[in-house]
Amino acid sequence: MRTDNAPVVRLSEYRPTDYAIDTVYLDIRLMPEASSVTARLSISRRDGAAAGTSLDLDGDGLVLKGLSLDGMGVADEARTVTPDRLTIHAPPADPFVLEIVTTLNPSANKALMGLYRSNGVYTTQCEAEGFRRITYFLDRPDVLSVYTTRIEARKSEAPVLLGNGNPVTAGNITGTDRHFAVWHDPHPKPPYLFAVVGGDLDAVHDSFTTASGRVVKLAIYCEHGKADRCAYAMDALKRSMRWDEERFGREYDLDVFNIVAVSDFNMGAMENKGLNVFNDKYVLVDPQTGTDQDYAHVEAVIAHEYFHNWTGNRITCRDWFQLCLKEGLTVFRDQEFSAQMRSRPVKRIGDVVALRQHQFPEDAGPLAHPVRPETYREINNFYTATVYEKGAEVCRMLQTVLGEDGFREGLDVYFQRHDGDAATIEDFLACFADATGADLTQFSLWYEQAGTPAVSVSHDFDADTQTLTMTLRQSVPETPDGKTKKPMHIPLRFGLVGPDGQDLSYGEVSGGRVNDDVIHFTGATATLTFSGVTARPVPSLLRGFSAPIRLEDDLCANDRFFLIGHDSDPFSRWEAAQQIALTMLTDATAKLRQDETPAFDPRFAEALGGLADNDGLDPAFRALALTLPGEVDIAQAIGHDVDPDAIHGARQALLKETGSAIGTLVSEAVSRNAPPAMFRPEAEDAGRRALRHASWNLSLASEPAASKQIAEAYSQAEYLTDRVAALRLLVHHQSGEAESLLAEFYDRYRDNPLVLDKWFAIQATAPGGQTLERVEALTAHPAFSMATPNRVYALIRSFAAANPTGFNREDGAGYRFLTGVIATLDKDNPSVAARLATGFRSFAMLEDSRRAAAQAALQALSATGNLSRDVADIIDRTLDDSSINA
């Protein structure tokens, strides 16, 4: 295991390698316990590097078995070898070939990085620094090479042998039970995109003809017995390929595109060139084993990894600080794809919900970092909501600032100028600046400054002069880097909603730049004056959530109710309701902490009823409107001295009151908008099902007897999405039916790991302190295993990240449970352990006794002293939080 002796890596210290590796030939002989890897590297000195400069190759736990340079042995004194490094002290002046033989044990690889074997399948995961677990290499993204891979295995063990690029040859090795396959990838690529797969796999096949007429063979490989669940993923792949041609002019560039779905995988999926490897939960769906959410995820993740072929693979990152260059942009692209496949406003609201739930808390806590960080100890810990989700928001803002056409022109320049490069954010922004003439200097602060900007707006309307004055103020909160923040370029898409609900026009605007209904707010403050406003408007700011900020406007409740009913922007209608709810919920939480009874404005339920009842609105949108802000959002809004029990109580109280007021009306709307009996994954049907589930939630909150009807719905359910929704509600409300249905569900799905994960997660997220005992008991369940990341995420991460009342139990037992699991898991799989450790990221916000208990648990874990670099990095940064040490 790598322990923490590595120095901090700094962006400012970047320099290119002294040597280039032009071609790589790998011969990989797969054996369960002793695989061997022969790497033949053609190496040349880069311009500017002095002759004789030592060649320093990265390794990670490697065993060297052979070494030669231009066919000759390398004397002991001419080299230094450790498991983590191979140094050739004075390489020749001319290009040379280095041949390295290493051996490794794929079955013992529990970290699931590098080459590992699980469920009998050999797989690799090389991003970010896993290639060095396979062979010694310059394992960094700016070392681009052309790879040829020969894979060999026992035929019965691994009839399928896959590599990057196109297949070249394959055959039996006569006189043995082994066979081989050779793959060649003509596109130079960084080592993190390398992959091989070997196993006894089933497959579905298809093909795709690109815009220019190239026929691409498509295949999705999976474990036997699972191929009948690959159809939707294949369909999503073909739609992604077409979409990238139509929207961005990007065609696929190899003869084959293979996807392999494996059941043990740390992450969601990986974009290896021509050979994507997926966690099978993002491939396998059918009506009986996948929920609507699963379908949406499969579509999005398939698209995401496919889109990396251009944004990530053809153009990669110069160094890992530029991670958002590929991830933020690719998330933006997959969000746009899903928006077009489904409903744009519904997708946008869902993305904003996720951003607020994951990225805002990260940005407000000890793990905050810029979209492009400047230092790291462990790069694995920077695959974060900030790099991904905020990174995508920055791309979206770029599109808002430049317009869709300007954005597209800039991207075209980027693809043309940097194809085949390892690029930086500066390179990226320069393409947009050059294509459009825009000055993006201030905009680039979005990549440099951590923290969620806060924008406050007040407005004043003068009917006599028909002028509207708007005063804006922005600030970026303090973050762990201690940097002084500068004002940012914040694009605020807005409308002035008139008394009839139509947007009012306006004349001249002074005091700031306003273009196409976007305010470009660039100073610390601004006072905008709109002339020619003929009636008192309600300003609708931040339409479509045009910037990832916290907006504090001065609208009164009446204004917000008006926007719920009338705003032409669906996001803003939804947002107006969320803001009213948040205000009521923070007030109610405070009341509950004083042992007072909260009271809610009855107009809120009425307004939601108005939306639910409106058959002119998309049922999916109505379902979102009926979903109150989550407990994490409420905690964020409160910001300090947080009591998760009071928050939960407040939210349940509002849900109950809303259910009593409009439950009947909502269930009538559900009847009028029932989905067809037969399951179709289309967004329209999914929306109808979501509305039905939202209605169940309201009924159960206000009327415990509704559990009977929901249990009935469970039994009658024709497909999984209804069954899971019903079970979750009954378990979370501790209804009498819950236990027997949990048993029924277990029996029904005991042989389907992906569905069983839902069984674990539903129990782990049941609110209340008693859930900890349940979760602890489930860790001893025969179906639970710490070696399966999906299982760990389903039970442990769900508990820590999605069960505020359970995890933050007052006696601190939830914290001690989590640190115990982290310590155990860290020995085998540091990257999954580190992901669990982020469950503490908001602990400094908690009220004193919980905060002290969490801190004590973290300190005890830290004091054990033998943590992986991954976990130590997260724990140290979490404990360094200045707000607790002040």
Distance CA 474, CA 874 (A): 30
Please, which of residues 585-604 interact with ligand BES by CB under 6 A?
none
Question: Considering the rule CB under 6 A, would residue 127 count as an interface residue with ligand BES?
Answer: yes
153 binds, among ligand BES, Zn ion, none (CB under 5 to 8 A by kind): none
Residue closer to Zn ion, measured from CB, 330 or 380:
330
Contact predicate 385/359, CB 8 Å: yes
Residue closer to ligand BES, measured from CB, 383 or 746:
383
Question: Considering the rule CB under 6 A, would residue 685 count as an interface residue with ligand BES?
Answer: no
406 binds, among ligand BES, Zn ion, none (CB under 5 to 8 A by kind): none
Among 26, 90, 85, 38, CA closest to 66: 38
Q: Which of 299, 305, 327, 389 is catalytic?
A: 305
Write phi, then psi, for 826 (nearest 5 degrees): -60, -30
Which residues have CB under 8 Å from 624's CB, separation 6+?
346, 349, 350, 353, 574, 690
Distance CA 833, CA 384 (A): 15
Query: Pick from 305, 378, 569, 881: which binds ligand BES (CB under 6 A)?
Result: 305
Residue closer to ligand BES, measured from CB, 127 or 294:
127
Strands (E), 542-601: 550-552
User: Where on the phi/psi map is residue 47: left (φ > 0), alpha (ψ -120 to 50), or beta?
Assistant: beta
127 binds, among Zn ion, ligand BES, none (CB under 5 to 8 A by kind): ligand BES
Question: Considering the rule CB under 6 A, would residue 327 count as an interface residue with ligand BES?
Answer: yes
Q: Where are the alpha helices (DSSP H) in 439-550?
A: 445-448
Residue closer to ligand BES, measured from CB, 296 or 738:
296
Distance CA 496, CA 511 (A): 17
Shortest spacing between CB 331 and Zn ion, in angstroms = 7
**Span from 320-328, 607-615, 810-818, 856-864 in contact with Zn ion (CB under 5 A):** 320-328
Residue closer to Zn ion, measured from CB, 330 or 474:
330
Residue closer to Zn ion, measured from CB, 127 or 567:
127
Which residues have CB under 8 Å from 383's CB, separation 6+?
128, 267, 323, 327
β-pairing verdict for 166-172 and 202-209: unpaired
Residue closer to Zn ion, measured from CB, 125 or 803:
125
Residue nearest to ligand BES (CB): 268
Shortest spacing between CB 309 and Zn ion, in angstroms = 11
Angle (CA) 447-449-387 rounded to 5° is 50
Shortest spacing between CB 308 and Zn ion, in angstroms = 6
Tell me the sheet residues that pair with 209: 215
Shortest spacing between CB 274 and Zn ion, in angstroms = 16
Shortest spacing between CB 380 and Zn ion, in angstroms = 14
Question: Considering the rule CB under 6 A, would residue 620 count as an interface residue with ligand BES?
Answer: no
Please, which of residues 553-582 interact with ligand BES by CB under 6 A?
none
Contact predicate 332/390, CB 8 Å: no
Question: Considering the rule CB under 6 A, would residue 304 count as an interface residue with ligand BES?
Answer: yes
Shortest spacing between CB 646 and ligand BES, in angstroms = 33
Residue closer to ligand BES, measured from CB, 331 or 690:
331
Distance CA 545, CA 393 (A): 9
Number of residues engaging ligand BES in binding (CB under 6 A) = 16
Please, which of residues 695-754 interact with ligand BES by CB under 6 A?
none
Residue closer to ligand BES, measured from CB, 241 or 580:
241
Shortest spacing between CB 330 and Zn ion, in angstroms = 5
Shortest spacing between CB 785 and ligand BES, in angstroms = 20
β-pairing verdict for 202-209 and 550-552: unpaired
Among 819, 830, 821, 822, CA closest to 869: 830
Please, which of residues 261-300 interact with ligand BES by CB under 6 A?
267-271, 300
Distance CA 265, CA 441 (A): 40
Residue nearest to Zn ion (CB): 327
Query: Pick from 111, 128, 411, 854: which binds ligand BES (CB under 6 A)?
Result: 128
Shortest spacing between CB 267 and ligand BES, in angstroms = 3
- With residues binned 3-state (H G I as helix, E B as strand, rest as coil), the percentages for the chain, rounded to 5, are 45, 20, 35
Does 305 participate in catalysis according to the annotation? Answer: yes
Shortest spacing between CB 537 and ligand BES, in angstroms = 39
Q: Is 859 helix (H, G, I), strand (E, B) or coil?
A: helix
Quote the DSSP letter at residue 572.
Answer: H
Contact pattern from residue 368 through residue 407 relative to ligand BES, giving x for each residue in contact according to CB under 6 A and a dash for the rest: ---------------x----x-------------------
Query: Alpha carbon of 288 to those of 285, 294, 680, 721, 755: distances in Å?
Result: 8, 12, 12, 8, 9
Tell me the sheet residues that pair with 311: 315
Among 619, 648, 612, CA closest to 633: 648
Contact pattern from residue 37 through residue 76 relative to ligand BES, giving x for each residue in contact according to CB under 6 A and a dash for the rest: ----------------------------------------
CA torsion sign for 651, 656, 661, 666 is positive
CA torsion sign for 386, 387, 388, 392 is positive
How many CB atoms are closer than 10 A to CB 736? 12
**Span from 150-158, 325-333, 379-387, 503-511 in contact with Zn ion (CB under 5 A):** 325-333
Question: Considering the rule CB under 6 A, would residue 121 count as an interface residue with ligand BES?
Answer: no
How many CB atoms are closer than 10 A to CB 739? 12
Tell me the sheet residues that pair with 423: 317
β-pairing verdict for 454-462 and 550-552: parallel
261 binds, among ligand BES, Zn ion, none (CB under 5 to 8 A by kind): none
**Span from 326-334, 563-571, 591-599, 793-801 in contact with Zn ion (CB under 5 A):** 326-334
301 binds, among Zn ion, ligand BES, none (CB under 5 to 8 A by kind): ligand BES
Shortest spacing between CB 268 and ligand BES, in angstroms = 3
Contact predicate 840/846, CB 8 Å: no
Residue closer to ligand BES, measured from CB, 101 or 339:
339
Question: Considering the rule CB under 6 A, would residue 662 count as an interface residue with ligand BES?
Answer: no
Structure tokens at 312: 């990530």
Residue closer to Zn ion, measured from CB, 392 or 642:
392
Contact pattern from residue 189 through residue 218 relative to ligand BES, giving x for each residue in contact according to CB under 6 A and a dash for the rest: ------------------------------
Residue type, 771: T
Tell me the sheet residues that pair with 850: none
Contact predicate 711/740, CB 8 Å: no
Write phi, then psi, for 215 (nearest 5 degrees): -90, 125
Residues that bind Zn ion (CB under 5 A): 327, 330
Q: What does the binding site for ligand BES look like in residue numbers (CB under 6 A)?
A: 127-128, 267-271, 300-301, 304-305, 308, 327, 331, 383, 388
Which residues have a catalytic role annotated?
Answer: 305
